[in-house]
Amino acid sequence: MIRGLVFAVTLLILLSIVPSSTPFPNLLSLSERHLTIFVTVLKWFLALFVIWKVNSVLSRWADNGWIWKDDKSAWSWRNEVAVVTGGSKGIGAMVVKRLISYGIRAAVLDVEPLSEELQSAGANLVTFYECDITSRVAVHKAGEAIRSDYGSPSILINNAGIGNANSILDVSPERLSTIFNVNLISHWYTVQEFLPDMIAKKKGHIMSTASMAAFVGLAGMVDYSCTKVGLVALHEGLKQELKHRYKCPQIKTTIVYPTWTRTRLIEAIEKGIQSVRAPIMDPGDVAEAMVKQIIDGKSGQIILGPSIAASIRALPAWLQEFIRDYMAHVVTVKATTAVA
């Protein structure tokens, strides 16, 4: 991209300063009229590139809470503690493995014990705390234990989630309540538990695993999509409160949007995903992007899928509906599966 830009600028300068009577323009085998059109197109290309670049810089600046330059010296990875919900299996386990590769101590909140692989990989850097994250009392109890064992966590990764494969009419009240409690309400409990210490130290990073389902509601997984849309609003509001209520724009916030990922969440619907030729990510790739964001000290959104997904709502209504219709038969079974 940079080489192409340098070439385009150089070419434009040459075409602008070299008189048309010289042999140079003939090297392009263009008539004077076509040469004028070519130069005009080249100018528009450069203008659009500059606009795109400025937009990218402003977006990164906004994502960073209008802080132009961070003090990365505030982070010492071997002294940091990360809380990871749903960290025993799947994406969460991969996140834990990458965190400890940097020397970060990981406190895993889960209802399932650590896998043997994670136990052997973690050595003294991973500690399991059995915790029902849908209970504010249980989250507080786990928080007290973590602070007693390690001190105050500076990183919170809300990763735990479940998915229902049910229609609106078929989903039971119990399943509906559970999916909202696990996928959305629990984020309030963990943030309420661990954010105060981050505010006191003016340092922290809160990350949540959402989904591409936040951008489009699909038949058979409406409740799941609703919980992920809710996370978008939660992170937008959290970021605003950190800046304007608690005066702590230094605290990072990240929301992650993986596409279909090979975890227990998609086992029941994998054939449907394959029927629309949608890509399926490896949990390790998702985890790598998540931990890289933390190590780089960045806030913002991580879209792990088609970049156009975030702009679906800006498309014409007929095109939005075409996309939803195309995906309508991905989720046709009835199931409830957990993803860690």
Q: Return d(Cα 180, Cα 227) in angstroms, integer.
A: 6
Whole-number Å distance between alpha carbons of 287 and 207: 12
User: In which element (H, E) is residue 272 found?
Assistant: helix 270-275
Question: How far is C-alpha 155 from the geometric centre of its chain's CA atoms?
Answer: 15
DSSP reduced 3-state for 248: coil
- Nearest Cα neighbor of 96 from 157, 39, 13 is 157
Quote the Cα angle for 173-179-181, to 5°: 100
Cα 184 from Cα 229, distance rounded (Å): 9
User: For residues 151 and 129, is the Cβ–Cβ distance under 8 A?
Assistant: no
For the question of residue 129 being annotated catalytic, the response is no
Q: Which of 203, 228, 239, 252 is catalytic?
A: 228
Cα–Cα distance, 131 to 153 (Å, whole number)? 16
From 89, 97, 129, 224, active-site residue? 224
Residue 228: active-site member? yes
Give one DSSP letter per residue of 250-271, joined into a string.
TSEEEEEEE-SBSSGGGGGGHH
* CA–CA gap between residue 200 and residue 197 (Å, rounded): 5
Rounded Cα gap, residues 188 and 85, in angstroms: 13
Q: Exposed (0-12), middle (13-18) or buried (19+): which is 298, by Cβ within 10 Å?
A: middle
Q: Beta partners for 85?
A: 109
In angstroms, the CA 268 to CA 332 distance is: 9
Q: If you write DSSP's letter for every residue of 62-117 in order, what string do you get? A: HHTTT-SS--GGG--GGG-EEEEET-SSHHHHHHHHHHHHTT-EEEEEESSPPPHH
What residues are annotated to the active site? 224, 228
